Homo-oligomer: A and B are copies of this chain.
Amino acid sequence: MGLMDADIHGPDIPKILGIEDKRPEISGDKMSPILVTPRLKAMSIGFLLPDRDSPIIWRGPMKMNAIRQFLSDVDWGELDYLVVDLPPGTGDEPLSVAQLIKSVDGAIIVTTPQDLALLDSRKAVNFSGVLKVPVIGIIENMSGFVCPYCGKKINIFKYGGGERAASELGVPFLGRVPLDPKMVEAADNGTPFVMQRESKVREAFEQIVENVRAFVEGKEVKSQ
């Protein structure tokens, strides 16, 4: 599987995966992606910065150029899936990906459950419609919170908004990922949370993967 970080201004994939210090090898006019595990290859502008705090001060056309190079000049080899991680919004990055990859299988919209976030996520669903990219579905992130000390539910960013939006917009709901401070810690440490332990978060991810695979293989998405 390939993971392409198309968040040009905030390339966080190298840090999340614990491979911040890696640099892609260049041979001829091709660049090798970083091998994260035997089955996962990653590419990010983060690997190419002079230092980790360097800002990328580029307007849209430069960003489209970088995305084009990530697609054409990176030696991805044979891939079953290419996942493209995009920044929030409906700007140059998703527009470039939709125009450069002719047959995108579909878009996944990740949202938090509060109304304010859904306002932007619904725009992303409609953006996909305009560009004729199928919507695989909506994932509700930071969905609900349980106090680890007293066990009480505190829905900090609310709960259920992503599922409601999916139903209103007539697109599949792929699942919800609960808010968990251990996930924040794991991302900061570069040890992806889903790979390390049995937990509600891991279960949530497995259900989501199942649903995405079902969509791509043309089966029906089970709602959670």
Interface residues of A in 91-117 (CB under 8 A from B): 91-92, 95, 114-116
B15-A119 in contact (CB<8A): yes
Q: Using A12-B119, A88-B88 as known contacts, list a sample of 12 further A-B pairs with CB atoms less than 8 Å apart, ordered by residue number in A.
A: A9-B91, A9-B123, A10-B123, A15-B119, A53-B122, A55-B90, A57-B95, A59-B95, A60-B60, A60-B61, A150-B150, A157-B184
Assess whether A195 is interfacial by the CB under 8 Å rule: no
B88-A87 in contact (CB<8A): yes
Assess whether A127 is interfacial by the CB under 8 Å rule: yes
Assess whether A148 is interfacial by the CB under 8 Å rule: yes
Tell me, in angstroms, the Cα distance from A157 to B148 when the chains sit together: 14
A116-B57 in contact (CB<8A): no
A54-B181 in contact (CB<8A): no
Tell me, in angstroms, the Cα distance from A58 to B59 when the chains sit together: 12
A9 contacts which chain B residues (CB < 8 A)? 88-91, 120, 123
| Binary flags per residue of A119-137, CB closer than 8 Å to B gives 1, else 0 | 1101111110011000000
A91-B91 in contact (CB<8A): yes
Tell me, in angstroms, the Cα distance from A63 to B115 when the chains sit together: 25
Knowing A89-B9, A90-B9, A114-B184 touch, does A152 contact B147 (C-beta < 8 A)? yes
Assess whether A216 is interfacial by the CB under 8 Å rule: no
A60 contacts which chain B residues (CB < 8 A)? 59-61, 91-92
Q: Which of B10, B12, B91, B181 contacts A156 (CB 8 A)?
A: B181
Q: Which of B53, B59, B90 contacts A57 (CB 8 A)?
A: B90
A145 contacts which chain B residues (CB < 8 A)? 156
Tell me, in angstroms, the Cα distance from A131 to B57 when the chains sit together: 10
Tell me, in angstroms, the Cα distance from A154 to B148 when the chains sit together: 8
A82 contacts which chain B residues (CB < 8 A)? none
Going nearest first, the 5 A-B pairs with the smallest beta carbon separation are A9-B89, A60-B60, A150-B150, A55-B127, A115-B188
Assess whether A187 is interfacial by the CB under 8 Å rule: yes
A10-B120 in contact (CB<8A): yes
